[in-house]
Amino acid sequence: MILGLMQTSPLLVSGILRYAASAHGGREIVSRLIDEPIWRYNYEGLARRAAQAAHALARLGVKPGDRVTSLAWNTHRHLELFYAAPGLGAVLHTANPRLSDEQIVFTINHAASRVLLFDRNFADLVARLAPRLTSIETFVMLSDAERTHPAGVEAASYEALIAGEAGTFDWPTMDENAGAFLCYTSGTTGDPKGVLYSHRAVVLHAMAGGLASAFGLTAFDVVMPCSSLYHATAWGLPFTAPICGAKLVLPADKMDGASLHRLIQDEGVTFTGGVPTIWTMYLAYLEQTGERPVALKRVVIGGSAVPRAMAETFKTRYGVDVLQIWGMTETCPLGVIATPTPALAALGEDAMNEAIWTRQGRLQFGIELRVEAEDGSEAPRDGETSGALKVRGPWVVRRYYRKDEDAADVDGWFDTGDIATLDQNGFLRITDRQKDVIKSGGEWISSIDLENIAAGCPGVKIAAVVGVPHPKWEERPLLVIETHEGAAVAKADVLAFLEPRIVKWWTPDDVVFAPVPLTATGKIDKKVLREAWRSHLTG
Amino acid sequence: MILGLMQTSPLLVSGILRYAASAHGGREIVSRLIDEPIWRYNYEGLARRAAQAAHALARLGVKPGDRVTSLAWNTHRHLELFYAAPGLGAVLHTANPRLSDEQIVFTINHAASRVLLFDRNFADLVARLAPRLTSIETFVMLSDAERTHPAGVEAASYEALIAGEAGTFDWPTMDENAGAFLCYTSGTTGDPKGVLYSHRAVVLHAMAGGLASAFGLTAFDVVMPCSSLYHATAWGLPFTAPICGAKLVLPADKMDGASLHRLIQDEGVTFTGGVPTIWTMYLAYLEQTGERPVALKRVVIGGSAVPRAMAETFKTRYGVDVLQIWGMTETCPLGVIATPTPALAALGEDAMNEAIWTRQGRLQFGIELRVEAEDGSEAPRDGETSGALKVRGPWVVRRYYRKDEDAADVDGWFDTGDIATLDQNGFLRITDRQKDVIKSGGEWISSIDLENIAAGCPGVKIAAVVGVPHPKWEERPLLVIETHEGAAVAKADVLAFLEPRIVKWWTPDDVVFAPVPLTATGKIDKKVLREAWRSHLTG
Mind listing the pLDDT tens digit for each residue in A474-527? 889 999 999 988 888 999 999 999 999 888 999 999 999 999 888 766 678 888
- Whats the size of chain B, residue-wise? 539
Q: Which residue of A has its CA nearest to B400?
A: A5
A415–chain B nearest CA distance, Å: 14
Beta bridge partners of B189: none
What number of C-beta contacts closer than 8 Å exist between A and B?
253
Inter-chain touch B245–A341, beta carbons under 8 Å: yes
Inter-chain touch B343–A179, beta carbons under 8 Å: no
| pLDDT value at residue A375 | 86
| pLDDT value at residue A521 | 63
A120–chain B nearest CA distance, Å: 30
Active-site option among A193, A247, A390, A439:
A439
* Sequence-distant (≥ 6) Cβ neighbours of residue A415 within 8 angstroms: A388, A389, A390, A409, A434
Mean pLDDT of A277-299: 96
pLDDT band for A251, please (50, 70, 90 cuts).
very high
pLDDT band for A68, please (50, 70, 90 cuts).
very high
* pLDDT exceeds cutoff 90 at B290: yes
Whether A444 is a known active-site residue: answer yes
B432–chain A nearest CA distance, Å: 23
Q: Which residue of B has its CA nearest to A23?
A: B426
In the CATH hierarchy, which fold is given to the domain comprising B366-433? Luciferase; domain 3 (2.30.38)
| pLDDT value at residue B358 | 86
Inter-chain touch B4–A396, beta carbons under 8 Å: no
What DSSP assignment string belongs to A193-239? EEEEEEHHHHHHHHHHHHBTTTT---TT-EEEE-S-TTTHHHHTHHH
Mean pLDDT of B496-515: 92
pLDDT band for B510, please (50, 70, 90 cuts).
very high
Percentage of chain B exceeding pLDDT 70: 98
Nearest to A241 by CA among A267, A210, A263: A210
Phi, psi (deg, nearest 5) at residue B39: -105, 140
Active-site option among A444, A473, A506, A533:
A444
- pTM for the whole thing? 0.90
pLDDT band for B217, please (50, 70, 90 cuts).
very high
A218–chain B nearest CA distance, Å: 5
Inter-chain touch A179–B3, beta carbons under 8 Å: yes
* Continuous H helices in B276-404: 276-289, 308-312, 318, 342-345, 349-358
For A299-308, write each residue's pLDDT tens digit. 999 887 788 8
Mean pLDDT of B396-404: 97
- For residues A360 and A306, what is the distance between their CA atoms, to the nearest angstrom? 8
* pLDDT exceeds cutoff 90 at B437: no
- For residues A462 and A516, what is the distance between their CA atoms, to the nearest angstrom? 7
Side chain identity at B409, as an amino acid letter?
A: D
Q: Which of A91, A208, A396 sits opposite B2 (nearest CB)?
A: A91
- For residues A368 and A371, what is the distance between their CA atoms, to the nearest angstrom? 10
Inter-chain touch A200–B6, beta carbons under 8 Å: yes
Who wins on pLDDT, B451 or A389? A389
Indicate left, alpha or beta for B345 from its phi (over 0: left) and psi (-120 to 50: alpha): alpha
With the C-alpha atoms ordered A160, A164, A168, A172, is the resulting torsion angle positive or negative? negative
What value does the mean pLDDT of chain A take?
93
- For residues A54 and A56, what is the distance between their CA atoms, to the nearest angstrom? 5
Query: Between vectors from CA B395 to CA A49 and to CA B187, what angle results, nearest 5°?
Result: 125
Mean pLDDT of B90-100: 94
Which positions in chain A touch B208 (Cβ < 8 Å)? 207
| pLDDT value at residue B419 | 87
Nearest to A277 by CA among A410, A439, A89: A439
B400–chain A nearest CA distance, Å: 7
Lowest mean pLDDT among A198-212, A389-403, B169-183, B297-311: B297-311
- For residues B193 and B136, what is the distance between their CA atoms, to the nearest angstrom? 20
Inter-chain touch A6–B196, beta carbons under 8 Å: yes
**Residues of B with catalytic function:** 185, 330, 439, 444
Inter-chain touch A218–B212, beta carbons under 8 Å: yes
* pLDDT exceeds cutoff 80 at B519: no
Whether A330 is a known active-site residue: answer yes
| pLDDT value at residue A30 | 98
Q: Which residue of B has its CA nearest to A336?
A: B23
| pLDDT value at residue B187 | 57
Q: What are the start and end residues of each CATH 2.30.38.10 domain in chain B? A: 366-433
Q: Which of A212, A245, A401 sits opposite B341 (nearest CB)?
A: A245
A443–chain B nearest CA distance, Å: 22
In the CATH hierarchy, which fold is given to the domain comprising A13-254? Rossmann fold (3.40.50)
* pLDDT exceeds cutoff 70 at B209: yes
Inter-chain touch B213–A200, beta carbons under 8 Å: no
A184–chain B nearest CA distance, Å: 13
Mean pLDDT of A251-258: 96
Mutation site for B-interface testing, chosen from A5, A28, A88, A371 by largest number of B Cβ within 10 Å: A5
| pLDDT value at residue A150 | 60
- For residues B390 and B397, what is the distance between their CA atoms, to the nearest angstrom? 12
For A161-219, write each residue's pLDDT tens digit. 999 999 999 999 999 999 999 999 875 567 899 999 999 999 999 999 999 989 999 99
| pLDDT value at residue B75 | 98
Question: For chain B, what is the radius of gyration of the CA atoms?
Answer: 23
For A390-446, write each residue's pLDDT tens digit. 999 999 999 999 999 999 999 999 999 888 999 988 999 988 777 677 888 878 787
Inter-chain touch A340–B213, beta carbons under 8 Å: no
Which positions in chain B touch A207 (Cβ < 8 Å)? 204, 207-208, 211, 365
Which positions in chain A touch B245 (Cβ < 8 Å)? 213, 341
Who wins on pLDDT, B444 or B107? B107
In the CATH hierarchy, which fold is given to the domain comprising B438-533? GMP Synthetase; Chain A, domain 3 (3.30.300)
* pLDDT exceeds cutoff 60 at B188: no
Active-site option among A330, A443, A474, A475:
A330
Inter-chain touch A219–B174, beta carbons under 8 Å: no
Inter-chain touch B174–A1, beta carbons under 8 Å: yes
- For residues A96 and A225, what is the distance between their CA atoms, to the nearest angstrom? 16
Inter-chain touch B400–A5, beta carbons under 8 Å: yes
For A346-381, write each residue's pLDDT tens digit. 999 989 988 888 889 999 999 999 999 888 899 999
* pLDDT exceeds cutoff 70 at B150: no
Q: What are the start and end residues of each CATH 3.30.300.30 domain in chain B? A: 438-533
Q: What are the start and end residues of each CATH 3.40.50.12780 domain in chain B? A: 13-254
Mean pLDDT of B68-91: 98
| pLDDT value at residue A187 | 57
Q: Which of B179, B219, B363 sits opposite A3 (nearest CB)?
A: B179
| pLDDT value at residue B538 | 86
Which positions in chain A touch B93 (Cβ < 8 Å)? none
Q: Are strands B427-433 and B414-422 parallel, antiparallel or unpaired?
A: antiparallel
- Whats the size of chain A, residue-wise? 539
- For residues A67 and A178, what is the distance between their CA atoms, to the nearest angstrom? 12
Mutation site for B-interface testing, chosen from A7, A391, A400 by largest number of B Cβ within 10 Å: A7
